[in-house]
Amino acid sequence: MRILLIGNFAPPFEEENLHNLTLLDLLRQDGNDCCVINISEKPAKEQGFINIKSYPDFIIKLVRCAWKRDVMHFLTKGYTRPGLMKLITAVVISRMFWARPVITLHPEMFAVFGRLRSKMGGQQLLHLSFSLAKKVICGDLHTYEIAAMHYQAKDKFVMILPAIKIPGEIKEDELLFLEPLKNKKRVIFVSDIKYPSLLFDMLNILLSKYLDQDTGIAISFSEGFSARLEIAIKEAGRKHLANMVLIDYTEKRLLSIACSNADFVLRIPNCDGKTLFEEMAFIVRRAVRSENYLYFPASFLLLKEGETTEVCADIFNAILMKTAEMPAVSLPEDFEKQLKDIYTA
């Protein structure tokens, strides 16, 4: 099968692009011929991935890649206007080239902005995109419910939790690097952190007031190692240096391993590789593992209004300390089979 994947495949790596890369690896392992267009503002590093510079550039490269494709799969969080324009363009061109258009809506803020789409274009574009797609995959129940509001044919929508492949055999140098996370009661993964930002203020409070030695902490920066940021983190968390690792934002495998060991992920909201609301919001996502995959079945968004950082830190710490008491989560029985059924239906 010849498949074109369109989405965020560039660093800094977090749940969205790690899922997209997991999907790509699964498809290639099954012998499919896959082409990738990266729509992130940042360039993808993998050889053969196609980066775009503008919307006209996207159209030109999309048309070139669409020839004789069986499936065109657009993966997005779906809440920026440029992303919505690329989505409708990809779906229309997919139909023009007789390919099967599939959409994945990663869970995050579509459930907020999807409901508030403009009645003078935004809602119509979503309705048209969904009506032309063969299937719309929603990453959680709330996203499913909001997406289905834009199109009444409910059988077109399916809910599948985005999955990240858990790395197999870990190399000796990787084990040594991630030793500070070993045998901890809980691990938090702070992804794509910037300085200054609300997320950094939150981490600063957690390190200085709340987190204990039973908590492992993995931190990745948004764009390479910043001496200023590294000094600030080590200053705030000097008593946690023995249970903390700092990972470069381009280290896909190390980030995948750290993420797969995490109980919670903290990061700034983003869409298609663009960071949003870094001064006023951050995401908390709970991680659970099956035998082969990592899922994020529960998450919430915290918005700062006034001096609320202390309150946010207190809320997160309360949740973190109750990790062991959280109820079990029902995971998909066969993530790979669900996707294959959608592609061949």
Domains along the sequence of the chain with CATH = 2-165+333-344 (3.40.50.2000), 172-325 (3.40.30)
Region 262-275: mean pLDDT is: 88
Q: How confident is the model at residue 223 (pLDDT cuts 50, 70, 90)?
A: low
pLDDT exceeds 90 at position 278: no
pLDDT exceeds 60 at position 159: yes
* Per-residue pLDDT, 216: 92
| 140-149, 173-182, 220-229, 284-293 — most confident range | 173-182
pLDDT exceeds 90 at position 213: no
Least confident of 24-28, 222-226, 254-258, 271-275: 222-226
* Per-residue pLDDT, 309: 76
Least confident of 5-9, 130-134, 178-182, 316-320: 316-320
Q: What would the pLDDT profile of 235-263 be if each residue is shown by its tens digit?
A: 766 777 788 888 888 888 999 999 988 99
Q: Which residue has the higher pLDDT, 206 or 33?
A: 33
Q: What would the pLDDT profile of 99-150 be if each residue is shown by its tens digit?
A: 999 999 998 877 677 777 777 778 888 889 999 999 999 988 888 888 888 8
DSSP state for residue 235 in the 8-state scheme: H
Q: How confident is the model at residue 228 (pLDDT cuts 50, 70, 90)?
A: low
Q: Which residues of 198-208 are buried (b: 16+ CB within 10 A; e: fewer)?
A: bbbbbbbbbbe
The model's pTM is 0.90
| 44-53, 290-299, 319-328, 335-344 — most confident range | 44-53
Report phi then psi at 343, rounded to 5: -70, -30
Q: What would the pLDDT profile of 83-101 be if each residue is shown by its tens digit?
A: 999 999 999 999 999 999 9
Is 186:214 a contact under the CB 8 Å cutoff? Answer: yes
Is 162:126 a contact under the CB 8 Å cutoff? Answer: no
Report phi then psi at 295, rounded to 5: -125, 160
CA distance 31 to 11: 26
Region 269-297: mean pLDDT is: 85
Q: β-pairing, 215-221 with 244-247?
A: parallel
Total residue length of the chain: 345
Q: How confident is the model at residue 38 (pLDDT cuts 50, 70, 90)?
A: very high
Q: What would the pLDDT profile of 306-333 be if each residue is shown by its tens digit?
A: 677 788 788 788 878 776 555 555 555 5
- Mean per-residue pLDDT over the chain, rounded: 86
Longest dimension (CA), the chain: 60
